[in-house]
Amino acid sequence: AYLSSLWESYASDVAKSRNISEGDLNQIADSLWGRTPELALAHHLVDKIAFQDEFENSLCKATDTKKVKDLEFVPVEKYTKKVAVEYKKNLLKERKKENIAVIFCNGEIVDGPSQESTVGNETIIKALREARDKESVKAIVLRVNSPGGSGLASELIHREIELTQKVKPVYTSMGNLAASGGYYIACNSKRIFADKQTITGSIGVFGMIPNLKELADKWGINSEQVQTHPHALTYSLFEKTPEKTRQVITEGIERFYKKFVQRVADGRKMTFEQVDSLAQGRIWTGADALKIGLVDEIGNLKHTIAYAAKENNLTEGKYGLLAYPVVEIDFSNFMKKRFRASTQAELRTMLKDEMGAKAYEGIQQLRNAVPSSGAFLQARMPYEVYIK
């Protein structure tokens, strides 16, 4: 269902841009009519067949440039990065008496403060409180791009949004990914926007306690542990989890899952049974999420801000945007982190070369699956999606 919805969205955009019907595009895909330049031209996938020098000459003509060597090319990566930087610059200053706060939640949700690529509950709660207390802020937009993470951290952020909603309206804009805990923190927003391809939902919970006993036995590693009570070694890496402990953990997972479903039901004005039928870890595209009631509208961050402004009677051009969380940079620590990051990047490259791409990818997936915060209850996608 997810891939079908993704294809429908993709096909709709391609068909519109190439001025052909979606039915024709499906036939082109099924018949492999894009396999040669001549077939691609005949079926309107391209406008012209040309060598690179002919293409470059057409660029010269279009830009009124005399020689090919004088053409200036900008890589897509550099262009998009520049646009993103300029856009964020626009969000760094309080420019007006009335403002909309934009709180960015990018990365795995963890307990404690945010790091470079994580969403820490302490940091987001602080940002929500600052925006809530700031008199000039009339509305808050949550920008979520997260696979989820710590169940506790997600619950605490959800609670803070609930408190904030009593004072100021909170709207959510979903990026590429708003799954599990990422959806948890957004579900009680006043209005939720998503892109057509946004991975949405994954309403589910899992628990994981890493165990190294079999590996340790194979390598002849022995660990002697002494306990005062039957379940004192529940989280030990070198002891098998007792059946009674497994039952207790399973109860905790089921209890948190029910709470998750109820949170969504309350936020989306649905019944528990309705949400449960859509949940159980399933993912949806933004387009399908709109049909089943998990989001309210298809749109990006710009659309969400415009909607928040209109609903709160803010005139375009007369309100400012404030970005949260506000990051204070310690230059000494910043340089240390940059050096450390450079060293780690080199080490990762070495490991990848030695292990091979597939083996390294497996290690990375395992690393991401083990909760860095130590919380075994995880509201996060238990897998990664690769579209080719």
**Whole-number Å distance between alpha carbons of 138 and 184:** 24
Lowest-confidence range among 156-160, 242-246, 261-265? 242-246
- What integer is the mean pLDDT of 222-240? 76
* Spatial distance between the Cα atoms of 214 and 113, rounded to a whole number of angstroms: 35
Alpha carbons 92 and 89: distance in angstroms, whole number: 5
Task: For residue 240, give every residue at least 6 positions away whose Cβ sits within 8 Å of its Cβ, in sequence order, or none.
Answer: 211, 213
Residue type, 46: V
pLDDT at 331: 45
> pLDDT digits over 42-100, tens only?
999 999 999 999 999 999 999 999 999 899 888 888 888 787 777 666 655 556 789 99
* Local structure of 99: helix, strand or coil: strand
Q: Please give the pLDDT value at position 382.
A: 63
Residue 373 has pLDDT above 50, yes or no: no
- For residue range 330-339, what is the model confidence (pLDDT) as tens digits? 445 544 544 5
Model confidence pLDDT, tens digit, residues 256-268: 999 999 999 999 9
Q: For 153-172, what is the mean pLDDT? A: 97
Write out the CATH class of domain 79-324. alpha beta
How much is the pLDDT for 157? 98
- Strand-strand pairing, 206-207 and 377-380: antiparallel
Q: Give the pLDDT of residue 334.
A: 46
Give me the pLDDT at residue 148, please: 92
Nearest-angstrom CA–CA distance, 120 and 124: 6
The CA distance from 59 to 47, in Å, is: 15
Structure token pair of residue 141: 């937009």
The letter for the amino acid at 89 is K
Question: What single-letter amino acid sits at 205?
Answer: V
pLDDT attached to residue 346: 67
Residue 191's nearest CA partner among 268, 130, 271, 285 is: 268
pTM of the predicted model over 0.85: no
Q: Which of 370 and 58 is assigned the larger pLDDT?
A: 58
Sheet with 377-380, edge to edge strand ranges: 118-120, 108-110, 148-150, 377-380, 206-207
Please write the tens of the pLDDT for every residue from 177-190.
999 999 999 999 99
Mean pLDDT of 13-35: 93
User: What percent of the chain is modeled with pLDDT above 70?
Assistant: 83
Considering only CA atoms, give the Rg of the chain. Answer: 25
User: 69 φ, ψ to 5°?
Assistant: -65, -15
**Per-domain boundaries in the chain:** 2-76, 79-324, 333-373
**143 class by beta-carbon count within 10 Å (0-12 exposed, 13-18 middle, 19+ buried):** buried
SS3 state at 202:
coil
- Amino acid identity, position 371: P
**Closest of 240, 184, 159 to residue 380, by C-alpha:** 184
Active site residue: 5, 114, 150, 180, which one?
Answer: 180
Catalytic residue check, 180: yes
pLDDT of 140:
98
